[in-house]
Chains A and B, each alone.
Chain A
Amino acid sequence: MASGVPPQQPASQLGASNRKLASAQVVQFLLDNGLFIAFVLEVALFAFAAPNLFLKSRTVEAILRLSGPAGIVLASYTITLISGQIDLSTAQVGGMASLMFAAVFQLLEWPLGIALALTVVLTIAVGLLSSWLIQQGIPSFVSTLAVGVVSGGIGFLIINLTNQPGMIRLVRPPLRDIANFEVIGVPFVIPLMFLAYIVGWVLLNHTKFGAHIYALGGNPSAAALNGINAVRIARIVLVTNAVITGLAGILIAGRQLAAQPGVEGLGQSLTAALFAGVALSGGSGKIERTLIGLLFLSTLTIGLGILNVSAPLRQLINGLAFVFAILLDSIRQQLASR
């Protein structure tokens, strides 16, 4: 009976197996490169639909301008997500920081450096509060949600204490000149955004700390067994994210000449990161891809505006993009667990 030769699979079974393998490869290819393909298709679609408006260097500048401050936050947000923490406080922390800065710099007329230092101290405190709550066993998305509410409250308190009408005007020089400073005709926030990604890329791919972030996000228990100090890493990541969010909030307020509670645009970080393949559960994702995810969303905003798509439909499309991003994350996780 036993001949020593493995039994031959029937040709039909072999074909089915090959087809299954091929389709799995296609799915994997789409998951790996889908964002690039979607971005190229998106650009091509808008270029086809509105060539006169979309194919302009000014449109590229508008997309980058729109991406700028949110992109800087997204770079640190990606690192936070990879480490396994979900920060839901960004919009409120950005608003609170800009109000704190505006109160000290604009209303008290203290020097720029002191106003910045005080704001950084406040955002460090917020980051420490988030990490302390996580250390107590509270999931990060709950902790940061609560910290976001606290930050929003601090923002309103600053407005109330300074007797301001819902916002603080931010027009004192030299801030507006700094916020609107241009390098060779390009707003400086754009090269700053690219710099943030380069720093993030080096940190994640060429440092021991970056390897620890991936390890912690991928499997916290295994990371702890290998001597990685999870508490310390979570603290550094969350504090850095809070500080960068605060500084971006000041930049946005400086451009809008007004600081107000809650900074619109910073909340898109989660969508862009998920879209780019950063796992919601942490441990995987590439920072360079989140840049493409951000550009995809900014191009979508500008493109839909150019096509004069109505506001309700724009909102629906943005919502569907978020749903799609969550679905992609789910599919990736299912494939990874097989």
Chain B
Amino acid sequence: MKRSRFVFEICVMAFLGLLLAACQTQTTVVEVTRVVDVTPTPRILTFHDAEAVTSMTAPHQCKPLASLPTEFSQPWRLGFINPNLAHPFFGEWSGAMKDAAAFYGVEFFESDAAGEYSTEPDLLETLLLNDLSIVGAHGPNVYEGLALRALDEGIQFIGIDNGPSEYTPIVYGIPDGIAGDRGAELLIEGVRKRQQEDWAGRELFFIELTHGGIPACVTRTGSAASTFQEAMELDDDHVLMADLTTGRSAEDMVNDTITAHPDGVFAMIPCWDGLGIGPYNAVTEAGNEADIMLVTLGGDEPPAKFLKTRPQGYYGFIEFQPYCEGWGWVEVALATLEGLPFETYQVRKAITQETIDQRYAELYESQ
């Protein structure tokens, strides 16, 4: 019995040995191909038309962030770890990246972290097997490690909405400070209207709904808080923060705050839509909907659908245009690889209850 097992294990080892030998053969072939690729060839560059990009990305009508050639210096291979394909916002990124890669004629490889950011380092290892030219990800706590690992492989890393780091010289995504400011401006508009109506004479509080572990959130909601505080002349005691890193749910934190100030009214801005809509619903269930006003940041289909129902205290959102953000990542990645300049991504649209029907029809009913 022992002898037969020994023979069997020897066979297993031999199989693995043959496999490794096969690997070595394969590597040699790849190296030869690379030598051929190095030979320079003169190229006459023609560039994609900006209008073609805008019409290609209808109904989103994205503005191209870089003028890219119709033929690249190399067959670039892009990789991206999507944080959660099942999430509407990130799902739009994915669709846009695939569309953009097809439009520009490059290969695109994608992994799905399915909401588990901690799996991204493992997913990166698999993604790197595709001989990528550049790789990106969105991951609040892990992106620096991902960037370092990519650099180890001689590959640049361009994250989305991650914030700056010494390993990621290129920062791409929502301009968080501007997005926060624009959200605050929209909220101020809504609050001032209410102050002339049912909120007249009520004590106003601002609640910053954030995630302290995400630098982009800290900048985004922090900027909104300071803009709102200054415009509405609130003292520090009236500017409150609900931070997810405390381990408590946003719903509980907001409900507790409202309970603690029974005569107050509350203006809220979250780092992303869901972080605001969840507490909004919790407050509504507790019977306090008349005391809150919400402006969210993001604006993909779920908040748009919710806004269409005209909730009393949901004034509107700043639309980040996730499709254009995803499309733009491909453009920035390709511009970086080609050594071409690119523009920063801009947040343009503020959508309110007055404009939501038209915008919703443009984005989701015209297809």
Establish whether residues A312 and B114, one from each chain, have CB atoms under 8 Å apart when the complex forms: yes
A244 CA to B110 CA in the complex, in Å? 34
Q: Tell me which residues across on chain A come within 8 A of B85, comparing CB atoms.
A: 310-311
Q: In the complex, how many angstroms separate the beta carbon of B364 from the nearest chain A beta carbon?
A: 24
Establish whether residues A60 and B141, one from each chain, have CB atoms under 8 Å apart when the complex forms: no
- Smallest Cβ-Cβ distance to B213: which chain A residue: A166
Interface presence of B91 (CB below 8 A): no
Q: Tell me which residues across on chain B come within 8 A of A159, comparing CB atoms.
A: 245
* A273-314 contacts to B (CB < 8 Å): 301-302, 305-306, 308, 310-312, 314
A32 CA to B20 CA in the complex, in Å? 25
Centre residue among B20, B22, B23 by max chain A CB count within 10 A: B23
A257 CA to B167 CA in the complex, in Å? 11
* B209-240 contacts to A (CB < 8 Å): 211-214, 218
Per-residue contact bits, chain B 337-353, to A (CB 8 Å; 1 contact, 0 not): 00000000000000000
Interface presence of B175 (CB below 8 A): no
Interface presence of A104 (CB below 8 A): no
Q: Tell me which residues across on chain A come within 8 A of B9, comparing CB atoms.
A: 36
Interface presence of B12 (CB below 8 A): yes
Interface presence of A260 (CB below 8 A): yes
Establish whether residues A33 and B8, one from each chain, have CB atoms under 8 Å apart when the complex forms: yes
Establish whether residues A58 and B129, one from each chain, have CB atoms under 8 Å apart when the complex forms: yes
* A242-265 contacts to B (CB < 8 Å): 255-258, 260, 262-265
Tell me the total A-B contact number using a CB cutoff of 8 A: 115
Establish whether residues B15 and A56, one from each chain, have CB atoms under 8 Å apart when the complex forms: no
Interface residue tally for chain B (C-beta within 8 Å): 51
Interface presence of B302 (CB below 8 A): no
Establish whether residues B122 and A66, one from each chain, have CB atoms under 8 Å apart when the complex forms: yes
Interface presence of B278 (CB below 8 A): no
Q: Tell me which residues across on chain A come within 8 A of B148, comparing CB atoms.
A: 176, 180, 257
- Smallest Cβ-Cβ distance to A36: which chain B residue: B12
Establish whether residues B127 and A180, one from each chain, have CB atoms under 8 Å apart when the complex forms: no
Interface presence of A165 (CB below 8 A): yes
Q: In the complex, how many angstroms separate the beta carbon of B270 from the nearest chain A beta carbon?
A: 16
Per-residue contact bits, chain B 10-28, to A (CB 8 Å; 1 contact, 0 not): 0010011001101110110
- Smallest Cβ-Cβ distance to B247: which chain A residue: A156
Q: Tell me which residues across on chain A come within 8 A of B113, comparing CB atoms.
A: 311
Establish whether residues B126 and A301, one from each chain, have CB atoms under 8 Å apart when the complex forms: yes
Establish whether residues B126 and A62, one from each chain, have CB atoms under 8 Å apart when the complex forms: yes
Q: Which among A33, A171, A305 is the interface contact of B126 at CB below 8 angstroms?
A: A305
Q: Tell me which residues across on chain B come within 8 A of A171, comparing CB atoms.
A: 144, 166
Interface presence of A135 (CB below 8 A): no
Q: Tell me which residues across on chain A come within 8 A of B218, comparing CB atoms.
A: 165
Establish whether residues B125 and A65, one from each chain, have CB atoms under 8 Å apart when the complex forms: yes
Q: Tell me which residues across on chain A come within 8 A of B123, comparing CB atoms.
A: 305
Q: Tell me which residues across on chain A come within 8 A of B212, comparing CB atoms.
A: 165-166
Interface presence of B50 (CB below 8 A): no
Q: Tell me which residues across on chain B come within 8 A of A65, comparing CB atoms.
A: 125
Establish whether residues B144 and A258, one from each chain, have CB atoms under 8 Å apart when the complex forms: yes
Q: In the complex, how many angstroms separate the beta carbon of A29 from the nearest chain B beta carbon?
A: 9
Interface presence of B121 (CB below 8 A): yes
Given A159-B245, A258-B144, 16 more pairs with CB closer than 8 A: A33-B5, A43-B15, A55-B26, A56-B23, A56-B27, A57-B20, A57-B24, A57-B27, A165-B213, A165-B214, A166-B244, A171-B144, A257-B167, A258-B145, A260-B141, A264-B119
Chain B residues within 8 Å of A, Cβ to Cβ: 5, 8-9, 12, 15-16, 19-20, 22-24, 26-27, 85-86, 110-114, 116, 118-119, 121-123, 125-130, 140-142, 144-145, 148-149, 152, 166-167, 211-214, 218, 244-247
Q: Which 10 A-B pairs have the closest CB atoms?
A: A166-B213, A305-B126, A311-B114, A165-B212, A256-B145, A264-B118, A166-B245, A311-B112, A165-B213, A57-B23
